[in-house]
Amino acid sequence: MNLIFLGPPGAGKGTQAQRLCWDYDVAQISTGDLLRSNISKGTPIGVEADKYIHQGNLVPDELIIGMIKDELKYTLAGGFLLDGFPRTVPQAEALDIVLKEMNFKIDAVLVLDVLSDEIVARLTARRTCPTCGKSYHLIFNPPAKEGLCDIEGSTLYQRKDDNEETVKHRQEIYENQTKPIIKYYEKQNLVHKINGLGKLDDVYYLIKNLLQKIVK
C-alpha cells in the first residue's frame, strides 16, 4: 500500500500518519526526517543540502527527490506513506517520474479536510512546558491546573509559531502551494478527502474505513 498524506498544518496529519504506518506496517517517509538523517550522516546529498540550508535557501527539488528515491530502494513489501510531500505541483510531477522508473504506483492520496478557522483555533490553543517539553491543548488536552505543567509544575508557554498571525500565514502557504497538488491528483482519480474535525480516534476510524474500501 503506497500512500500520499496531505493536509493543512495543525490538521493532525502527523499523528494519524504514525498510527497508519504502525497498523499497516508501511514505511513513513518524511522529507524533514530524511534531510536531518542525510545531513547527520554526511551523505553526498546531505552535504549538498546543508549548503543551501546554511545559506538560508530552500533545498532544491532535485535533492529532495534524490533522497526520496534512495529511501524507496529500501521500502519493504508493506509499502510507504509520503508524509507532507509533495508540496508543489512540480514536485508531484517529478515524483511521478521517479515512481514510474522504480515500478511503484500510488494507491491513494489522503487529504485531511479541516476548515481554516478550526485550524487557527487548534494551533493557537497549544501550550508547552519549558522544562520537560510536554505539550498540552487548552481544549482537547488541558493541564490539571490551569497554566501549569502536570509533571513539572512549570508555567506553560505558547510557541512563537502558534500565534494567530503565523498560523494564518502558514494557512496561506498551504492554500497557494499545496491545494493545486490536490487538483493534480484528482485528475488521476487518487484523491480521497477525510473530514478532519472531531477526536483523533474518530478521524482515524474514518481513515481506516476508507482504506479498506480503496486498497485491497
- 159 catalytic? Reply is yes
- 87 catalytic? Reply is yes
> Per the structure block, which three cell numbers stand in for 66?
534524490
Q: Which of 159, 179, 199, 208 is catalytic?
A: 159
Q: Which of 19, 69, 87, 168 is catalytic?
A: 87
Q: What is the pLDDT of residues 149-188, one digit of tens each?
A: 999 999 999 887 777 777 777 778 777 877 899 999 999 9
Domain ranges of the chain: 2-26+78-115+172-214
- Predicted TM-score of the model (pTM): 0.77
Query: Inter-axis angle of helices 31-41 and 61-72, to 10 degrees?
Result: 90
Strand 126-128 and strand 135-137: pairing? antiparallel
Q: What is the pLDDT of residues 114-132, one digit of tens each?
A: 777 777 777 788 899 999 9
Q: Which of 134, 168, 170, 193 is catalytic?
A: 170
- Percent of the chain topping pLDDT 90: 41
Architecture of domain 2-26+78-115+172-214: 3-Layer(aba) Sandwich (3.40)
CB 157 within 8 A of CB 130: yes
Mean pLDDT confidence for 10-15: 77
